[in-house]
Amino acid sequence: MDKMSSTIKFLRALSDPTRLRLLLLLVEEEVTVAELQEIMGMAQSRISASLGLLKREGLAADRRVGKNIFYSATEDAGGAVAAVLEAARGDLPGAARDRAALVLTMRKRKDRAAEYFNRLAGRFGRVYVPGRSWQALAHALLGLLPPMVIADMGAGEGTLAQLMARTAKKVIAVDSSEKMVEFGAALAREHGFKNLEYRHGDVEDPPVDSGSVDLVMLSQVLHHVPHPARAVASAHRILKPGGRVVILDLASHSEDRARELYAHLWLGFAEVEFHQMLKKAGFSKITSSIVSREPDPPHFQTLLVTAAK
């Protein structure tokens, strides 16, 4: 199909206001049908039918995670019909409301995770968390060479940060849960760590200066993050040239209960997904391996991934 025919086909698909509203949302975020129902106030059948047509025309794609299916726009949706989408943002009835509702929906995702970790503050080590393996952490710590400036993203109460602070020049522990930050900072003062600083912030856009750290640690955090690729890109931003990122996270699994039990947004990651994210962010010298497998069902496995800026 030539470029003109393809464009006409896309425009025909977008002649329906519902499909156009859907695509405006999908170019912003990856969402489920249930979330789209809440955002748009429409029946599931109408949304599913419109998504099906957008998929057939190559404007939308889906990705299954456990029992949930996430929908997003394809590259074609952001390119061939970009002008139509831009015009629709200001003129299409309901588009502005949809966008505001999308922001609220994404905030709810983060709030659910924050609420879970606020409840856990002060109880880590006494509460089971999938993939929290000291064996896996030991593998990550083997490569650390002092003195370093280290950013521990999604640090929680900072057990790992405190371990690294024993030999590091400085450790910056970032977490989105205010109570985790308060609890971790209190522990750091109690244990006399003057080189350990806690900061409240989002790992997708951490409050850390660009090019200021030698090592970024992302330990069991990316499966809680709405946009893992953004967190990886931010890790690249804050690293000095030659700096390294270390990722410890769950390997892909099918334990859908982890969403409700542990506030997981992602059911682990395949090694190839990490390689793609890191490469796109600008990293090189990427390595990955399974470093831990839990003995009890569902046998969560932990991936160790490293890369250099």
| 3-state secondary structure at position 162 | helix
Q: Looking at the predicted structure, is the pLDDT value of residue 132 above 60?
A: no
What token pair was written down for 72? 């997003």
Task: Lowest mean pLDDT of 27-41, 112-126, 175-189, 199-213, name the range.
Answer: 112-126
Tokens for 100? 């505001």
**What's residue 278's pLDDT?**
96
Instruction: At 131, give phi and psi (nearest 5°).
Output: 80, 0
**Other CB atoms within 10 Å distance of the CB of residue 90:** 8
Nearest to 86 by CA among 74, 73, 77, 98: 77
Hey, which bits of 183-308 come out as E strands? 196-200, 213-219, 239-250, 284-293, 301-308
Q: Which two tokens stand for residue 260?
A: 């409700």
Superfamily per CATH, domain 134-308 = Vaccinia Virus protein VP39 (3.40.50.150)
Do strands 196-200 and 284-293 pair parallel, antiparallel, or not at all (unpaired)? Answer: unpaired
* pLDDT band, residue 167 (cuts 50/70/90): confident
| Residue 175 token pair | 């977490």
Mean local confidence (pLDDT), 201-218: 96
Residue 204's alpha-carbon distances to 175, 227, 229, 248, 276, in angstroms, are 11, 7, 8, 16, 17
pLDDT digits (tens, 9 = 90+) for 247-261: 999 999 989 988 888
Question: What's the pLDDT band for 142 if we cut at 50, 70, 90?
Answer: very low
Tokens of 188: 């750091």
Pairwise CA distance, residues 251 & 236, whole Å: 22
What pTM did the predictor assign? Answer: 0.63
Question: Quick check: 1 pLDDT over 60?
Answer: no
Query: In what order do the strands lie in the sheet containing 284-293?
Result: 196-200, 170-175, 149-153, 213-219, 239-250, 301-308, 284-293
What's the mean per-residue pLDDT of the chain? 84
Q: What percent of the chain has pLDDT over 90?
A: 44
Q: What is the DSSP letter of 252?
A: P
Tens of pLDDT along 226-236? 999 999 999 99
**CATH architecture assigned to 3-111:** Orthogonal Bundle (1.10)
CB 92 within 8 A of CB 24: yes
Is pLDDT larger for residue 117 or for residue 134?
A: 117
- Report residue 205: phi and psi, to 5°: -150, 70
CB 274 within 8 A of CB 246: no
Q: What is the mean pLDDT of the segment spanning 295-301? A: 87
Segment 185-197 shows an average pLDDT of: 91
Tell me where in the chain the CATH 3.40.50.150 domain(s) lie. 134-308
Closest listed residue to residue 173, CA positions, set 217, 226, 211: 217
Residues carrying CATH 1.10.10.10, the chain: 3-111
Lowest-confidence pick of 34-43, 104-113, 166-175: 104-113
